[in-house]
Chain A
């Protein structure tokens, strides 16, 4: 059974940094593209970032480009999202999701974690 578990969320001040991790089990992480999606409280889904199966190709939403970095762990068993220069509007639940295919350029996300809350506030 595919399982994704996010960690690393919490309260951070504006301008601060946070690193989210996503532990995967039940499949080989490096065989699929992986994605991060967020949802502000009471709002809709927002795609944030994707990484190809190899890790060589990444993509970011304009709202986070230059501030967030997606990466795969060296051991191929985890996904990370490094978030810098955090803003109040980054407050949201952050989900990691498994891509249906190898390609990063797809919006078919067939398994999701339960999400982790990031609160940016002074």
Chain B
């Protein structure tokens, strides 16, 4: 059971917008920034969003993050086939004094 809760799966057709949610608590999302990672099967994770809504250099503008209270969301607009991957949210947890990940959401591009 992950500390951060994500839907196990999501799907959409190319060109559509898909949103992935991440729910936590006061000690993690409520107190710290949220990060999102993309992992293509067989590859290492890649930082997609840091600090709730900041895109590292090289990440397309189609990816955006937001946070409200103890929840966060990742939105992918103009969905492309190469976006098919697993997506994880992560935050620091002050009570645990450690990092916590969501269980991951498998995105399928139909």
Chain A interface residues toward B at CB < 8 A: 35, 37, 44-47, 50, 59-62, 95, 100, 105-115
Contact = CB atoms under 8 A, between A and B. Distances in A.
Nearest to B93: A107
Contacts of A106: 32-33, 92
B106 to A, nearest CB: 10
Given A35-B99, A108-B33, A108-B50, A113 B44 contact: yes
23 contacts: A44-B101, A44-B104, A45-B37, A45-B39, A45-B45, A45-B101, A47-B99, A47-B100, A47-B101, A50-B98, A50-B99, A59-B97, A62-B96, A95-B44, A95-B45, A105-B94, A105-B97, A106-B32, A108-B35, A109-B47, A112-B45, A112-B46, A114-B44
B105 to A, nearest CB: 10
Given A44-B103, A107-B32, A107-B92, A60 B98 contact: yes
A37 B98 CA distance: 11
B91 interface: yes
B104 A61 contact: no
Most B CB within 10 A of own CB, among A45, A59, A112:
A45
Interface residues of B, number: 29
A108 B51 contact: yes
Contacts, number: 73
A106 B99 CA distance: 7
Given A37-B99, A45-B88, 11 more contacts: A44-B86, A44-B101, A45-B37, A45-B104, A46-B101, A47-B98, A47-B100, A61-B98, A107-B99, A108-B33, A112-B44
